[in-house]
Structure 1
Amino acid sequence: MSIEERKKMWQERIEAYKSSGETSIKSWCAKNEWYAKDTSKKIKAVFKAKGESGKPL
């Protein structure tokens, strides 16, 4: 990932924070981390179910 791509990514995150109405950056970041954690659990569950059913991953 180039420096310009990273810069754009962070600018988008900052804009999303500003438009979210959150009062603190800490709570906003925590919500994003929870979302990522939940998504990761769901993906793992899908791979596990596919593996147990014999379908190719």
Structure 2
Amino acid sequence: MFGLYLKNKKVMGLSYKPDIGDVIRNDENNKFYKVLKLEGRKVYSRITFDPRMYESY
């Protein structure tokens, strides 16, 4: 289990290890988090936008 942290506060748990730069969606509050740093089982992130809004066709 990997914990996703935003400003040193745990916001959710992940069942897999993400890569740096991945965008993760929280289904409970519909927010998106971009992975900044991995430190052991802690995943540090920041809030970002929905990447699907800016897809080019």
- Regarding TM over 0.5, the answer is no
Structure possessing the higher radius of gyration over alpha carbons: 1
TM-score (norm 1): 0.22
Larger RCO: 1 or 2 (CA < 8 Å, sep 6+): 2
More helix by share: 1
More strand by share: 2
TM-score (norm 2): 0.22
